[in-house]
Amino acid sequence: MPQNTLETVNELVAGSFGGAAQVLVGQPLDTIKTRAQIAPSSKGPMDILMQTARKEGVLALYKGMTSPLLGIAGVTSLVFGAYGISKRIISPFGQLSLKETAAAGAMAGAANAILASPVEMFKVRMQGQYGSPGDKRLRVVAREMWAEWGFRKGIMRGYWVTVAREIPAYAGFYAGYEFSKRRFVSGYGPDLPVWAVLASGSTGGIAYWLSSYPLDVVKSRVQLRSTPPEGTPVQYIARELKAVVAESGVAGLFRGLTPCPTFATFELTREYLRDFTGI
C-alpha cells in the first residue's frame, strides 16, 4: 500500500477513535449545550444539569448519543482524513504555516458537513425531548423525518448552516491545536507528554467553539423546528441570528459553550498506528 494511502488510513482510524471519545466523554456536556441553545429561558448550564437529572434522571444527559455514536466514526474519520489530504494538497513539502493549517482545516470542515449534518440533526431532535410520555426513539424520529420531509428537508435539514459552521470551526480547531502543540514541542521536544496533548486539544476545542458558536446555536434551532427553514441559507441564518439576539441579547449566541476531548484520543491512536505500521 502506498505511503500516502496508509497515512490516510491511519488518520481515518485515529479520527474514529477520537470521535468515539468525544461522544462518550462529552455527551452530557453536549446535551446541556444543546438545551441551553434551544431553551434560552434557563438560568444557565448548572440549572439545566440539575433540572435534567431531577426530572428525567442522570441517563437523560446521554440522550441523542446513539446518532453520533453510530455516525461519529464516519464523521470524525472523514474530517481527520480530509484534513490530512488537504494538508498534502496545500503543501506536500513539510510543516504548514498556521494560515495554511487553518485553510486545510476549513477544507476538511466543508467536507465533514456532508456527514455531520444528519448526525447532528438526529442528535438535536433527541436532546430536545424532555422525558414526556410522547418522547420518540431514534428510529421513529428518522422514519417520520423521512416520511414527512424527505432527504433534503428532513434528513439533511440544516445542511447549509452546518457547512457555514464547520468551515470556521475547523479552521480554528486545527490552527488552535497546532499553535499550542508547537509551543509545547519547542519546550519539550517532539515526544510530548499526554497532558501536553490534552492541553493542545483543549486549545483547539476552545478555538473551534469561539469561531463558530453562534452558527451552532442557529443550527440547533433550525434542526429542532417542526418545519424546514424558509428562504435561502443566508436569509434563514440571518433571520435566526436576529431572533436569538431579540430573545436573549448577544449573550444568547454563546449559551452553553463547552470544549471536547477529540484531539487527545486522535493523537494517541495515531501514534500507536504509526508505531504499528511504520508510517
In the chain, domain spans:
3-277
The whole-number pLDDT of residue 259 equals: 44
Q: What is the pLDDT of residues 172-216, one digit of tens each?
A: 999 999 999 999 999 888 888 888 888 888 888 889 988 999 999
What's the CATH number of domain 3-277, 1.50.40.10, 1.20.120.1810, 3.10.20.90, 3.30.200.20?
A: 1.50.40.10
Average pLDDT, the chain: 85
Q: What is the pLDDT of residues 60-89, one digit of tens each?
A: 888 888 777 777 767 777 888 899 899 999
Higher per-residue pLDDT: 68 or 142: 142
- Give the separation between CA 257 and CA 274, rounded to whole angstroms: 34
The whole-number pLDDT of residue 231 equals: 94
User: Residues 15-50, buried b or exposed e (16+ Cβ, 10 A)?
Assistant: bbbbbbbbbeebbbbbbbbbbbbbebebeebeebbe
- Give the separation between CA 144 and CA 224, rounded to whole angstroms: 13
C-alpha cell read off for 149: 420531509
- Give the separation between CA 138 and CA 62, rounded to whole angstroms: 13
Q: Cβ–Cβ contacts within 10 Å for residue 70, how many?
A: 14
Using alpha carbons only, give the angle 204, 206, 208 rounded to the nearest 5 degrees. 70
Please, are residues 110 and 51 in contact by the beta-carbon 8 Å criterion?
A: no
C-alpha cell read off for 112: 465533514
Compute the average pLDDT of residues 99-111.
96
- Give the separation between CA 187 and CA 189, rounded to whole angstroms: 6
pTM as predicted: 0.80
